[in-house]
Structure 1
Amino acid sequence: MPHPVLTPQDARLMAKILDRPDFARWAARARATGGCAQPVFLTGTVRHVHTGTGELLHSYSTDKEPDGALPVACKTRRASRCPACAEIYRADTYQLIRAGLAGGKGVPETVSGHPAAFVTLTAPSFGPVHSRRQKAAGRIERCHPRRNAKPCPHGAVVSCGARHTADDPRLGEPLCPDCYDYAGSVLFNALAPELWRRFTLALRRYLAKSAGLTQQEFRERLAVSFAKVAEYQRRGVVHFHAVIRLDGPEGPSTLPPGWANAGLLEDAVRHAAAAVSVTTPAAPGIPARSLAWGAQVDVRALNASSGALTQEAVAGYIAKYAIKAAECVGTLDRRLRPADDLDELPITPHARRLMAECLRLGAIEEFADLRLTQWAHMLGFRGHFSTKSRRYSTTLGALRAARIAYVREQFPSWQPPDDHDPDLILAIGEWRFASQGLTRGEALVTAALTGRPLPPPAPEDRRAA
């Protein structure tokens, strides 16, 4: 990431922060939040009271803090909002995924011998878009070269002979926006979580049928564990990357039966991906339609004796997308507000039409349950970006708890006297929200203190400069 160019105004704002008489405490708090770009500022008090005698043993108030408030990290997962907090979420996701492949974090190392596969399920085509295809040798192919291509009904020639660069803004844009199936795109996003659920059910049914087992017998002999993440393609539809693993009935601590091998897992994935579909609601003038996964289904075995796809590479790849949203499509990083005018928002034309389609369909009663209006900024997708089955590995909550315990050991806070029973001491806290976010000067100094990247300026200031 390139370093931001500092203006004379930036220098003056930074100097104002550095000249604060309480700068030492201010800097310590900035480091304590990990360089959070949009911390939440709280005001309040904490009192430690002995429940037996009523004695006040210790008290804390934010009145003595700089600006009279205590900053708390925002803990967002989105790198576009806070790179510092998103990096923690990415690292946690990496550890979660890797533990399910190699063991650790409470998962036995024998799990590395279980059959597992890295699976990618894509969306179908909703119309030709500008794309960048790279051959194995590294040569970039032409986008959509079509000799003697005829104009479409809207007068556009659906052909492109360019070799797009990776940062070409045309990538993902339809060759003819009027021909593109915007309704299908946003409906697929909205129903992708249901399509994934049906995929997992079909996967288990295929495995059970292949072994000649009933569903009850299957559950007693084999368990299917997975962890997945959603990724937006440049055209504005999501696809899923997943690690799918076969375990014994008790999860990663037990070996699966011998017939449950990598070859059977790949066959089950391909069968389930082709077998499932979901039907959209019907409305006046809008018939119901069936949506399914795209033809491109990638299944690569893990835990093989050879291969370039390592457990670390898979964990890193999935964790990378756990902190992203729809930024690559050029949409908003927030919900639409009632006062927003789509034509005035700083978004790409393609994203604008996708969001407009969400609003159009969301206003129809038959589509109300899909909540397209509320999730227009996500182009219809309302599922969790990162999910896992219960017994895949550890949890994000357990990783956070371990990190909190470690920090408390390194930086102990107030401790009760030795002659007091800790079980009889009650902590009474009263907290109020004060504000959120940093001024430009605070953000610059925080980035300098922590070495974190400086996020782009927000569209509106949340705190006075």
Structure 2
Amino acid sequence: MAYPSDERRPVSHEAGRLSLTERDLIRIVHDPGFPRWLEQMKSIGGCAHPIYLSGHTTTRDAATGEILTHYDTREEPGERLAVRCRNRRETRCPPCSRLHSGDTYHLVRSGLLGGKGIGPQVRHHPRVFVTLTAPSWGPVHRLSAPGGPACRPRRGAPTCDHGRPLGCPRHHEEKDPQLGQPLCPGCYDYTGHVLWNADAGLLWTRFCHTLRREIASAAGIVQSRIGEHLRLSFAKVAEYQLRGAIHFHAVIRIDGPDGPSSAPPLWATPEMLTASVRTAAGRVAVRTPYSPATGEREMRWGEQIDVHSIRSDAFTGTVITDSAVAAYVAKYVAKSVGDSGGVDSRMESADEIRFAPVNPHVRTIMMQCWRLGGLTDLESLNLRSWAHTLGFRGHVLTKSRAYSTTYGALRQVRENYLTGPRPAEKGRRTETESAWRYVGAGHSLAQAEIARGIAEDLAERKRLGREVQGDGLGEL
């Protein structure tokens, strides 16, 4: 367990003066409820921003009314119980983010290899891993591969109408702050960028409908009867590129008409699915709402469209394997707009955007969201509410219903594993009555230090365990 270090003590000329964190630590360790609070923190993995609840739950035998179990927070420290915040963002709560990434790994992997209620036959169904990117809204600085060409080499040093160079002779490394920044902010189409992020989710929905039409066309089947032959399932994760534009990674699978338990038709091959994905991606388009200030724009996918057939883990000669895809998706589900230089909390005013701790490119995108959000014709996009996400309004991960299990089911399995069945409830039909209310959230200074130590200890223990077992989650 990690305790507050001397490095956090403020500089003082008074010998023996304690910092605020140290005084808070002395207070909480002398509290009679400290041992039980520590147990609560360990049970929630050292959550960085726990939610505190007050209430009770009672389980009775449905036939006799006999009380089997009863729990009340009046016996807890402060008469409250700490539960996880369940925030998926690594920047907000690393412990909950790691847990969410692990659940995502198993959610995606079970749709590729089976398990968690999905039969193993899905590994033989046609499956592809798709990456759909955003179009260009102007040249930006990009990462240079080791030994590769410069960022944007140009002969003769040409300039744009604003007098800025149209090329960049530098070799940018991974942490270079210029990555993702436009070569000329005046030439960059910020309006198109914002409208793209706002309509990317709708474009994905249109893409799924178009993909079903393309598969039906390739098989010579009437589109209205495609459901009699197959079912299309997917799991998709949204990621922010360094330039702040959304793009999608997705696993797409063809099942039989009854879902994962049924075999797809023989003519549904990975090659046919790959060709249909490329055709559908090239044809689908979304028109933005018309406004005199922006006109009406047509949004399409960018030119970089990658489609790879997913191989079984037994084929180790390729990186596009079941476990590799699951780990890749799980890694990105913990990220957020903060990883591209943005913020994770909503902006309440234009002044708040002006003083936000973001780079100039991201600030301009946010300000454009705020400006466009004030237009009556674009009210449906709700851009001001989503200025902090650069206009994107969708969930980070979505999946079709039949793809695999759910986050709720995974959490229930984990809870059952940790607590085990209660002896009094075995073989009985029970009824549960609960009443809970929110009473607070977060940590004090010393509590945050202790929780951080618990989280680090648990993460290190899991990392060592995965190294020993060779688990695919070692990449997370």
Corresponding residue of 1:436:
441
Q: Choose which of 12, 16, 32 in structure 2 pairs with 1:21.
A: 32
Matches within 5 A, 1:327-406: 327-338=338-349, 340-406=351-417
Alpha-carbon deviations, 1:321-351, whole Å to 9, x = none?
1121111221111111248522212121111
Corresponding residue of 2:161:
153
Contact 1:199 1:276 (C-alpha < 8 Å) held by counterparts:
yes
Q: Choose which of 163, 170, 185 in structure 2 pairs with 1:162.
A: 170
Report the alpha carbon displacement of residue 254 of structure 1 after superposing the two structures with TM. Answer: 1.7
In the alignment, the residues of structure 2 paired with residue 104 and residue 48 of structure 1 have an alpha-carbon distance, to the nearest angstrom, of 31
**Helix, strand or coil at the partner of 1:272:** helix
* Residues 227 and 56 of structure 1, relative CA distance in 2, 3 Å threshold: closer
Corresponding residue of 1:112:
123
2:295 is aligned with 1:287: yes
Corresponding residue of 1:427:
433
In the alignment, the residues of structure 2 paired with residue 19 and residue 56 of structure 1 have an alpha-carbon distance, to the nearest angstrom, of 36
Contact 2:235 2:251 (C-alpha < 8 Å) held by counterparts:
yes
Corresponding residue of 1:245:
253
Corresponding residue of 2:331:
320
Corresponding residue of 1:262:
270
**Helix, strand or coil at the partner of 1:240:** strand
In the alignment, the residues of structure 2 paired with residue 118 and residue 52 of structure 1 have an alpha-carbon distance, to the nearest angstrom, of 51
Query: Which of structure 1's runs of 4+ aligned residues deviate more than 6 A?
Result: 48-58
In the alignment, the residues of structure 2 paired with residue 63 and residue 374 of structure 1 have an alpha-carbon distance, to the nearest angstrom, of 39
Query: For structure 1, which segment, 118-127 or 432-441, has the greater mean C-alpha deviation from structure 2 after superposition?
Result: 432-441
Report the alpha carbon displacement of residue 76 of structure 1 after superposing the two structures with TM. Answer: 1.5
Q: Choose which of 80, 92, 98 in structure 2 pairs with 1:87.
A: 98
**AA of the residue aligned to 1:166:** E
Contact 2:62 2:429 (C-alpha < 8 Å) held by counterparts:
no
* Residues 46 and 396 of structure 1, relative CA distance in 2, 3 Å threshold: closer
Report the alpha carbon displacement of residue 140 of structure 1 after superposing the two structures with TM. Answer: 4.2
Alpha-carbon deviations, 1:35-91, whole Å to 9, x = none?
111011123345668999999887654344223322111112111111111111111
* Residues 155 and 32 of structure 1, relative CA distance in 2, 3 Å threshold: same
In the alignment, the residues of structure 2 paired with residue 4 and residue 378 of structure 1 have an alpha-carbon distance, to the nearest angstrom, of 34
**AA of the residue aligned to 1:236:** G
Matched positions, count: 443
In the alignment, the residues of structure 1 paired with residue 324 and residue 23 of structure 2 have an alpha-carbon distance, to the nearest angstrom, of 44
**Helix, strand or coil at the partner of 1:192:** helix
2:196 is aligned with 1:177: no
**AA of the residue aligned to 1:355:** M
Report the alpha carbon displacement of residue 293 of structure 1 after superposing the two structures with TM. Answer: 0.2
Corresponding residue of 1:7:
8
**AA of the residue aligned to 1:315:** A
2:83 is aligned with 1:72: yes
In the alignment, the residues of structure 2 paired with residue 221 and residue 55 of structure 1 have an alpha-carbon distance, to the nearest angstrom, of 51
* Residues 409 and 49 of structure 1, relative CA distance in 2, 3 Å threshold: closer
Corresponding residue of 1:218:
226
**AA of the residue aligned to 1:436:** A
Report the alpha carbon displacement of residue 450 of structure 1 after superposing the two structures with TM. Answer: 3.6
2:197 is aligned with 1:189: yes
Corresponding residue of 1:233:
241
In the alignment, the residues of structure 2 paired with residue 277 and residue 339 of structure 1 have an alpha-carbon distance, to the nearest angstrom, of 32
In the alignment, the residues of structure 2 paired with residue 44 and residue 366 of structure 1 have an alpha-carbon distance, to the nearest angstrom, of 47
Query: For structure 1, which segment, 327-336 or 380-389, has the greater mean C-alpha deviation from structure 2 after superposition?
Result: 327-336
Contact 1:447 1:453 (C-alpha < 8 Å) held by counterparts:
no
Contact 1:83 1:453 (C-alpha < 8 Å) held by counterparts:
no
In the alignment, the residues of structure 2 paired with residue 82 and residue 360 of structure 1 have an alpha-carbon distance, to the nearest angstrom, of 32
Contact 1:35 1:452 (C-alpha < 8 Å) held by counterparts:
no
Alpha-carbon deviations, 1:155-183, whole Å to 9, x = none?
21122111111111111111111111111
Corresponding residue of 2:465:
none
In the alignment, the residues of structure 2 paired with residue 356 and residue 373 of structure 1 have an alpha-carbon distance, to the nearest angstrom, of 9
**Helix, strand or coil at the partner of 1:341:** helix
In the alignment, the residues of structure 1 paired with residue 227 and residue 65 of structure 2 have an alpha-carbon distance, to the nearest angstrom, of 55
TM-score (norm 1): 0.88
Q: Choose which of 445, 451, 454 in structure 2 pairs with 1:449.
A: 454
In the alignment, the residues of structure 2 paired with residue 217 and residue 428 of structure 1 have an alpha-carbon distance, to the nearest angstrom, of 47
Measured on the aligned residues, the alpha-carbon RMSD in Å equals: 2.7
In the alignment, the residues of structure 2 paired with residue 109 and residue 51 of structure 1 have an alpha-carbon distance, to the nearest angstrom, of 37
* Residues 323 and 170 of structure 1, relative CA distance in 2, 3 Å threshold: same
**AA of the residue aligned to 1:377:** H
Alpha-carbon deviations, 1:78-117, whole Å to 9, x = none?
1111111111111111101111111111111111111111
Unaligned runs of 5+ in 1: 455-465
* Residues 422 and 226 of structure 1, relative CA distance in 2, 3 Å threshold: closer
In the alignment, the residues of structure 2 paired with residue 170 and residue 444 of structure 1 have an alpha-carbon distance, to the nearest angstrom, of 34
In the alignment, the residues of structure 2 paired with residue 80 and residue 432 of structure 1 have an alpha-carbon distance, to the nearest angstrom, of 27
Corresponding residue of 1:460:
none
* Identity percentage of aligned residues: 44
In the alignment, the residues of structure 2 paired with residue 201 and residue 132 of structure 1 have an alpha-carbon distance, to the nearest angstrom, of 35
Corresponding residue of 1:103:
114
Alpha-carbon deviations, 1:108-136, whole Å to 9, x = none?
111111111111000000001111042xx
**Helix, strand or coil at the partner of 1:236:** coil
Unaligned runs of 5+ in 2: 10-18, 460-476
Corresponding residue of 1:458:
none
Query: For structure 1, which segment, 302-311 or 326-335, has the greater mean C-alpha deviation from structure 2 after superposition?
Result: 302-311
In the alignment, the residues of structure 1 paired with residue 231 and residue 428 of structure 2 have an alpha-carbon distance, to the nearest angstrom, of 46
* Residues 57 and 393 of structure 1, relative CA distance in 2, 3 Å threshold: closer
**AA of the residue aligned to 2:449:** L
